[in-house]
Amino acid sequence: MSKKIIKELIKLSSVPEKQKEIADKVLHYKRITPEEGVYLYEKAELSYLGLLANYIREKRHGNNTYFNKNFHIEPTNICVYSCTFCSYSRKFSDNDTWEFDLEDIVELTEKYKNTDVTEVHIVGGVHPYHDVYYYGKILKKIKKILPHIHIKAFTAVELEFMFRKSKMTIKDGLKKLQNYGLDSIPGGGAEIFDKEIRKQVCHEKSKSRTWLEIHKTAHQLGIRSNATMLYGHIENYTHRINHLEKLRELQDQTKGFQTFIPLKYRNKNNKLSYLEETSVIDDLKNYAISRIYLDNFDHIKAYWVMLGVDTAQMSLNYGVNDLDGTIDDSTKIYSMAGNKQIASMTTDDIIAIIKQVKRKPIERDTLYNRIIKS
The 10s digit of each residue's pLDDT in 57-94 is: 999 999 999 999 999 999 998 988 877 777 776 777 77
Whether residue 271 is contained in a domain is answered as yes
> 188 and 284 share a domain?
yes
Whether residue 16 is contained in a domain is answered as yes
> 220 and 335 share a domain?
yes
> 89 and 38 share a domain?
no
Task: Give the pLDDT of residue 222.
Answer: 98
Residue 219: count other Cβ atoms within 10 Å of its Cβ. Answer: 19
> 26 and 108 share a domain?
no
Task: Give the pLDDT of residue 140.
Answer: 97
> 27 and 151 share a domain?
no
CATH of the domain at 182: 3.20.20.70
> 235 and 182 share a domain?
yes
Task: Give the pLDDT of residue 251.
Answer: 98
- Please give the sequence-ordered ranges of beta strands (E in DSSP) within 139-252, or none if there are none: 150-153, 184-185, 224-231
Cβ 298 vs Cβ 60: under 8 Å: yes
Task: Note down the domain range covering 225.
Answer: 66-363
Whether residue 369 is contained in a domain is answered as no
B/e letters for 278-315, b = 16+ CB within 10 Å, e = fewer, are beeeebbbbbbbbbbbbbebbbbbbbbbbbbbebbbbb
Domain count, the chain: 2
Instruction: State the Cα–Cα distance between residues 191 and 198, nearest whole angstrom.
Output: 8
> 84 and 50 share a domain?
no
> 15 and 137 share a domain?
no
> 25 and 7 share a domain?
yes
> 55 and 90 share a domain?
no
Cβ 284 vs Cβ 316: under 8 Å: no
> 280 and 307 share a domain?
yes
Measured in whole angstroms, the distance separating CA 255 from the mean position of its chain's CA atoms is 16
> 95 and 8 share a domain?
no
Q: In this predicted model, what pLDDT tens digit does every residue of 176-187 receive, in sequence order?
A: 999 999 999 999
Whether residue 371 is contained in a domain is answered as no
Residue 293 φ/ψ, nearest 5 degrees:
-75, -40
Whether residue 368 is contained in a domain is answered as no
| Secondary structure class of 264 (helix, strand, coil) | strand
Q: Is the dihedral of CA 278, 285, 340, 103 positive or negative?
A: negative
Please identify every stretch of the chain with a pLDDT value under 70, giving residue numbers as ranges.
1, 89, 328-343, 374
Domain boundary among 26, 45, 60: 60
Whether residue 372 is contained in a domain is answered as no
Whether residue 267 is contained in a domain is answered as yes
Whether residue 179 is contained in a domain is answered as yes
